[in-house]
Amino acid sequence: MPNPQHILDQVVAHGVVPVIRTSTLDLARTSVTWLKEAGFRTFEITMTIPDAPALIEELAQDKDLLIGAGTVFTGADTDRVVAAGARYVVSPCVSAEVGAACRRHNVPSLMGTLTPTEVFNALQAGSTAVKVFPASTVGSGHLKALRSVFPKITFMPTGGIDASTVAEWVKAGAACVGVGGKLVDEGLLKKGDKDTVLAVGKQLIEAYKAAKA
């Protein structure tokens, strides 16, 4: 039986979670292939991707990867993505349905919050860790303030974070970070600009490692 805390510890150990959000399944697959080459080993596959559960099932066959599902709002979708092989479930908001389903499946839930009240509500709803989203709209000082009243909570800020800002989020108390558009640039994917995607990915990994050192 899976252990939610053990899985969460693996997510935290990876440090940076690429949030895969593209207009097509093929572009999503390409982004994962390239970012794996850059050094990433965990990916949040969002449910806005067409046929996302099929991609989760495909990627979950790779035992080198830890695959999660993102933009999950309902218990039914939680059931679908876990059945497909998702090891953790991320939501942009607080959802008691998702929390209950994750408990049934023994997988960690990371619910999206911004305010102290939302953090509290997420924990009450069963969130194993807390996503701060959209992080760029509030800045790292906001996370530092949340950490002062929730010192034992695992926080994953997501949104607008890149190699130039990741250190300030780590300093503010981020256990790990989610990175979407700054890393998964659909324009670069469509152009086939693998070199730039690899360079951005490697730069982010190095910046995160330096911040944690």
Give the residue numbers marked as catalytic. 44, 131
Amino acid making up residue 52: A
Q: Are 69 and 57 in contact (CB under 8 A)?
A: no
Spell out the residues 6+ positions from residue 142 whose beta carbon is closer than 8 angstroms to its own: 114, 132, 135
Token output for 153: 């909570």
- Tell which residue, 15, 8, 53, has the closest CA to residue 207: 15
Q: In this structure, is the dihedral angle defined by the CA atoms of residues 114, 120, 123 and 125, taken in order, positive or negative? A: negative
**End-to-end Cα distance, the chain:** 34
In b/e form, how buried is each residue of 113-149, taking b as 16+ CB within 10 angstroms?
bbeeebbbbbbebbbbbbbbbebeebebebbeebeee
Q: Are 142 and 180 in contact (CB under 8 A)?
A: no
